Amino acid sequence: MRGRRAAGGRWWRSALFLAGQVATVIPFGVLVLPAALLPPLARYRLIRLWALFILRWLKWTCRIDYRVEGRERLPPAPYIILAKHQSAWETFAFQEIFPPQVWVLKRELLWIPFFGWGLKLTDPIAIDRRAGRRALEQVVDQGLARLRSGRCVVIFPEGTRMAFGERGRYNPGGALLAVKSGHPVVPVAHDAGRYWPRRGFLKHPGTVQVRIGPAIDPRGRSAKEVNRLAEAWIEAQVAAFVHPDNDNNGD
């Protein structure tokens, strides 16, 4: 009986969260359209307000909070963030955790009414994932421009959301951008998929663990080596989340 009540509570809380998310994205998507006249950084700071609201709405409705380890490891901005992608949670939370940023994302997201309008105003690097080498060149060329403007670049190297505990192939775009630009890579691991599963309606209460790894200096390294180092650190942390008895606390 207790389990049924808990499951029912999660369902209603998840429904309430979704209702608030949908109800706010439409008016916000319309209200931020004039922000197109502002400089990119000012646009970002305005649009970021919706992400901050969503995080607090999520905490209030679904009781999902987060904890960050390793903030002291962050180098001066800008830098390249390589991170796990498990749900929509990190796209909101990273805007509170890290300095002003842009994301590498699939261009189809910009076609979503209201949400896509606001997303486009953040100046993302929107790629066609089927374009192969052209997409890689786009990440590097536009990434260099965004870094020169002082903004971090967020890349999910697996290219798509992976279920908690699963592992995909790490694409080299972020590592190549680091080598070409000389800016460091910051690897980030988290377990958001445990509480907000990919493509999942039902949210589970708890505290998302976010771990920031030691910055990887790309100077004197190949893109392959940078990618390998980032992947090794991230996946070791995810394994520790899955098997906490083997936790190495981000070292």
Tell me if 92 is assigned to some domain: yes
Assign 189 to helix, strand or coil: strand
**Phi, psi at 38, each rounded to 5°:** -90, 160
Query: Residue 48: which CATH number?
Result: 3.40.1130
Tell me if 190 is assigned to some domain: yes
Q: What's the rounded mean pLDDT across residues 46-60?
A: 96
Tell me if 251 is assigned to some domain: no
pLDDT of residue 206: 97
Number of domains the chain contains:
1
Domain that residue 113 falls in: 2-246
The two tokens of residue 5 are: 């009540």
Alpha carbons 251 and 32: distance in angstroms, whole number: 41
C-alpha torsion sign, points 100, 106, 221, 147: negative
Closest CA to 208 of 31, 55, 22: 55
Tell me if 6 is assigned to some domain: yes
> Taking the model in full, what pTM does it have?
0.92
Q: Over the stretch 169-218, which tens digit does the pLDDT of each residue have? A: 999 999 999 999 999 999 999 999 999 998 889 999 999 999 999 999 99
Tell me if 14 is assigned to some domain: yes
pLDDT of residue 133: 82
**45 band by pLDDT with thresholds 50, 70 and 90:** very high
Tell me if 175 is assigned to some domain: yes
Tell me if 161 is assigned to some domain: yes
pLDDT of residue 245: 65
pLDDT of residue 200: 83
Q: What's the rounded mean pLDDT across residues 135-148?
A: 93
| Structural contact between residues 91 and 103, judged by C-beta atoms closer than 8 angstroms | yes
pLDDT averaged over every residue in the chain? 92
Q: Which helix (H) or strand (E) holds 37?
A: none
Q: Percent of the chain scored above 90 by pLDDT?
A: 75
